[in-house]
Amino acid sequence: MIATPKKATTVILLRECDPEGFEVFLLKRHEKSSFMGGNFVYPGGRVDREDGSLELCSYSRGTTFEDSHRIFGRALSPEESFAHWIAGIRELFEEAGILLAYDHTGNPFEYKNEEDRRRFIDYRDQLQKGKTTICQIAKESNILLALDQLHYYAHWITPEARSERFDTRFFLARHPEGQEASYDQKETIEGIWLSPQRALEENLNRKIALSPPTLKTLEDLSRSKTIDDVFISLKKDEICPILPILTKISGEPTILFPWDPEYEVFERGDTPSSINHGRPPRPNDHTTRLILREGIWYPYCRTS
């Protein structure tokens, strides 16, 4: 029986990197995690039912129920759509310690002093333990959650062969001034800033292990030189869900993306008469499949 994917959000946090270029924030999931254990991923997690509450609209700015419903192509209800933006803000704060918000004057939120910073460290801990909510934090702190700082980027669904699956919306966000990203020391055990190209190289060199969606989105981001370029290149058309196929080819776990020439063959349950993975991708190529070898997903490009 195919598992039903759970709704989730992921936030790709970007920061400028001198003299030019940009970096993304990656978290290493705990080795014992049931999903992507030991892999480097972006901050993110499940969408909770409370994330779509009407009350949260009063403590948010930049995106309404109808806005999010329209951006998602009306595939979900307005409440479900809006919940993804809230979940993105909440998960980014829980997992990376970054709170995208506006203060009572309408300026981007930042810590006023050390006492203020420690107060929000405590809020983060309480939120992780379920002792408070993102709505209560907004109320007590007199802030508005900055939903307009999240930009919808991609939609990935875990392959049907997995027992634990997620239907994940990816967002882009700029790293705010006056805050510092950090791992939570619970679900994640390390946090690093790397340029997209460097992260891809570190994966190939076996220094880090990238999850499949992280690897492919980093490849896409590596084509942009600056954060402004990334936002300029955002798709204007409807973002379609990406549902990879997980299979085994010659005994090796293999993921095929929908644009792989043999995707439909494997989707039908057929087996190709000969095995040809193509070649490792070159600059400007688009990876079409990944092969898992000793815990590392290696990219390949099959053109025909």
Q: What is the model's pLDDT at position 4? A: 95
Domain that holds residue 148: 6-232
Q: Give residue-wise pLDDT tens across range 138-174.
A: 999 999 999 999 999 999 999 998 999 999 999 999 9
- Do 173 and 105 belong to one domain? yes
187 pLDDT tier (thresholds 50, 70, 90): confident
247 pLDDT tier (thresholds 50, 70, 90): very high
Measured CA to CA, the distance from residue 34 to residue 44 in angstroms comes to: 15
Radius of gyration of the chain (CA): 20
When pLDDT is averaged across residues 272-280 and rounded to a whole number, the result is: 88
Which among 154, 275, 129, 139 has a CA at the least distance from the CA of 219?
Answer: 154
**Residue 239 domain-assigned?**
no
- Do 129 and 265 belong to one domain? no
- Do 223 and 256 belong to one domain? no
Q: Which of 200, 232, 264 is the last residue of a domain?
A: 232
**Residue 238 domain-assigned?**
no
- Do 77 and 220 belong to one domain? yes
Angle subtended at Cα 291 by Cα 13 and Cα 215, rounded to the nearest 5 degrees: 10
- Do 254 and 193 belong to one domain? no
- Do 15 and 124 belong to one domain? yes
Q: Structure tokens of 63? A: 């995106």
Q: Give residue-wise pLDDT tens across range 248-268.
A: 999 999 999 999 999 999 999
CB-count burial class (<10 Å; 0-12, 13-18, 19+) for 145: buried
- Do 83 and 174 belong to one domain? yes
Q: What is the model's pLDDT at position 34? A: 64
Whole-prediction pTM: 0.95
The percentage of the chain sitting over the pLDDT mark of 70, rounded to a whole number, equals 98
Q: What is the CATH number of the domain that holds 43?
A: 3.90.79.10
- Do 164 and 270 belong to one domain? no
When pLDDT is averaged across residues 293-298 and rounded to a whole number, the result is: 96
Q: Which of 175, 202, 232 is the last residue of a domain?
A: 232
Measured CA to CA, the distance from residue 143 to residue 89 in angstroms comes to: 13
Q: Which of 232, 254, 284 is the last residue of a domain?
A: 232
Q: Is the pLDDT of residue 236 over 90?
A: no
283 pLDDT tier (thresholds 50, 70, 90): confident
**Residue 237 domain-assigned?**
no
**Residue 168 domain-assigned?**
yes
| Number of domain units in the chain | 2
Report CA-CA distances (Å) from 238 to 71, 152, 155: 8, 10, 10
- Do 267 and 174 belong to one domain? no
